[in-house]
Structure 1
């Protein structure tokens, strides 16, 4: 599609009220991505949205790296990962500067609202820091890098015709892929193992935000029951109709419901746990390079910048 045709389509969508994609791009935070992302992980604040992107990277980056078939694939995936680190760092740094979604208390006498006035004017020749008022543009850059990571994974796995199933993380479709692509089963199984670790990380974060309600709220959050049983054997948990459900699937479904309206966030440990997953996958891909260009996965410029962003006081837990 040419740029002119694309512009024409957007213009037509602006006229036709039924064009949901255009409406989302114009009127919803994060654009068209938001509708689909909220079906997986509910996020309301800018900080939660940044953490949601980090969780998405946990799934896509290792898959792209582990699916590399040769040196070119590995080099491309590592380059994509470095770009993802860079844009995630810029997003976290902006939120650390200030947030527009709520007054996020950092210390007893300090908050992180963009409504707090600057104490002084920047120098005329001083570069201005991005903050929460640049969130949408920075989020778009993160979305773009996640798209290219996902595209690399699908191309490396030769799954171009299975894009929707993989993006939706449809377990039934993914199991079907295991049967169709026996030689890729180890890569896909490792990807699903990473997905399970992602469930644990996310549900831990949500449980921390609702734990007090397990004693004080009526009705109690759903996680109060399922969280402690997430490692139970198959059949130990049931749904509302009494049908047996799997522990991690149940706790994820409950976390999605309980997260709405709660101030959940990833802790420092959880953010570093996600980074550790990416480091491990990157190291496997790095070994495929015959000319490593003088740097390893732990010294990628984007990674160093992301670690620095994790250490910024306003986003620490």
Structure 2
């Protein structure tokens, strides 16, 4: 049965891709985004145009900053929705080092506003974005939702851990069903210009050098966007029961935390090799030390979401990377 779902960050990479899947299956989507200029606003508007093309009058967009609770309440007054997917946030590890206040406002105040909205509306479920960054300098691989995450290496990571803690409190006090998703490195068509795959593809096609950090000794759990969206939809449709049992992440409140990744840790160099092949050009690799706030490796243990919801990522990087490059060249006519 079709329902109406509120999606924050609807003009973002994952938010747009999720909204498109929901519209494709017949749901109505109310999208919220402030269209800030952290990266290309025209790209965000193009994503929204795609959603309008697919959804027609089943897609409604509100340009509003969800960290402003009065503006958010006003924009959604009179709107009915049952479930919330809160994907909007100030993203980026490195940007948080020089712009900390943006993260406190968007990721802490904004998250609280969405929790309050869900509580006041009696939402049947809110799914929210956390991040693999919460694992900090964890050296035990793969990262498990049962690992301690008390030592973040960036303010961005600290805000995401704080979001999980606030959510646990709301689930406990108000029995509000919540699911937190620790996203690993997500890539694919309509991706973000601040992410390595976009940066590398652009530079290679323009015959410019690419900065390869930690002298190339980097590993990432690259997860294709279609797989991510499949996992998010499964979560949206399956709220945690309030049955007193321990859920993924250790909560006995109706609050689950899942890793959502590809369950493979790939060499950064292998990803670059695939981009080179898809572009038909060799990269000029500028080897540099690791950046502040970065971690050398990520690797998701996805057994919890596999066992609970049957999540099985299906796209390897040798399929996903060429698909991204093909989209990039088509979008930019490159």
Shorter-chain TM range is: under 0.3
| TM-score, scaled to structure 1 | 0.25
Which has the bigger relative contact order, CA under 8 A and spacing at least 6? Answer: 1
| TM-score, scaled to structure 2 | 0.24
**Greater strand content:** 2
**Greater helix content:** 1
